[in-house]
Amino acid sequence: MKMSRLGIKTQKNRGSEEALSQEILIQSSLLKRHAAGIYGMGDMVVRARNNIIEIIRKNLADFGCAEVSMPVMQPKLLWDASGRFNTYYQSKTMFITQGRNDDIYCLGPTAEEIVLDFVRNNIPSHKDLPINVFQIGLKYRDEIRTRGGLLRSKEFVMKDGYSFSATEACMVKEYENMKACYIKIFKDLGLPITPVRAMSGDMGGKVSEEFMCISPIGEDKVLFDHKAGFAINTEVLECEDALAEIKKEYPKFDLASLTEERCIELGHIFQLGTFYSQGMNGFFVNKDNQKAPYYMGCYGIGVNRVLGTICELNSDEDGISWPLTVAPYRAVVVAAPNHTKDAEKLYDILKSKGVTVVIDDRDETFGTKLKDAKLLGFPYLIIVGKEFAKNKTYEVEVRADKKKLLLTEADLLKLLKK
């Protein structure tokens, strides 16, 4: 890709935002605020998000999950059936629209109702269970306070998944399977997370865990027992029943031994039980030939929030430093003065070898191009200049650790293809 085709116009000055990564993304024109909590994304951010989605999608397939697609526009009747419409309506977090025949719809903030409606007529027997389905797509929540750019916005991409089981024991097994899957997903994404006991809130069910990443810009407060490897959201302390359950599971639980950390919530999983299926006629025929409700589990990952957290954890005063696992492009080629043709030849070679690469062909100074390469976060900055003229080697700067290398074409290809 040629830089001139990316629509990038970096700004000299950085604004004052809640998060460093948000400042950098806006400065680099990769993120555009159209209104509070509503953002447009440039090519590089979209590509990084797609790479995150592919890591999530691959792991879910490996753990036996099937991909589906639910409508974002959902009939009010379904939310009335679950009893949640008034809760969301009164909290003013749901976007509501009206059709030409006066039918009322909402833009789904979540998908328990619609996915149960999708499944309940397709899975009539215990012989068809368990199943585990997921989707990755847009969600809408009219947040009271949007913050941190991608961390909390009104429109966002989310992975939400749902398991349907014949028994409570099978539901717990699916839940534990998805917990293991989530741990693997976040490991592959390079994100240090801790499963944290949490409140289920409006979702229903009694058991839930959040996947938290420690960060000073996080809005959740989590209490850690680092020695025991145990953590709870401070919200749990407000519920006597939940606290009592934790004390049963962890007899040595002692508030005095816990350390409070600020965290970003990246995922949340729930044992919903029969909360939705009972109210919405989600029944199947069990092994005793009796009508029984599905036992459901729910599993979410905030894809945009993951993207924002990766940017935040991999930013410095020079800009973003994309990890190789999700980097939109692996390298950028910058020509020193009088070396444009040599740079173009290298660019063509790298493309032919399947390397995702950008060449900075803009009408900008050499210094500006080097500065922007660091701001935009390319893992490898390749300079075609005096070293190439002298001995056919390329100057390579590694963004993550700022190491500088001199490499032949063969060695450069090994590095970029590794």
**The pTM of the whole model exceeds 0.85:** yes
Domains plus CATH for the chain? 20-315 (3.30.930.10), 329-417 (3.40.50.800)
Shortest CA distance to 339 belongs to which of 361, 370, 354, 371?
361
Neighbours of 255 (CB within 10 A): 10
What single DSSP character describes residue 65?
A: P
Q: Quick one: which H or E segment has residue 233? A: strand 230-233
Q: At a CB cut-off of 8 Å and minimum separation 6, what does 138 contact?
A: 72, 155, 156, 157, 158
Q: Long-range contact list for 126-129, CB < 8 A, 24+ apart?
A: 126/166, 126/284, 126/285, 126/286, 126/287, 126/292, 128/284, 129/164, 129/165, 129/166, 129/170, 129/284, 129/294
> 346-400: per-residue pLDDT in tens?
999 999 999 999 999 999 999 999 999 999 999 999 999 999 889 999 999 999 9
pLDDT less than 50: residues of the chain: none
> 165-223, pLDDT tens digit by residue?
999 999 999 999 999 999 999 999 999 999 998 876 665 567 899 999 999 999 999 99
Query: Which amino acid would we find at residue 188?
Result: D
Which of 315, 19, 357, 52 is closest to 190 using CA atoms?
A: 52
d(CA 1, CA 16): 31
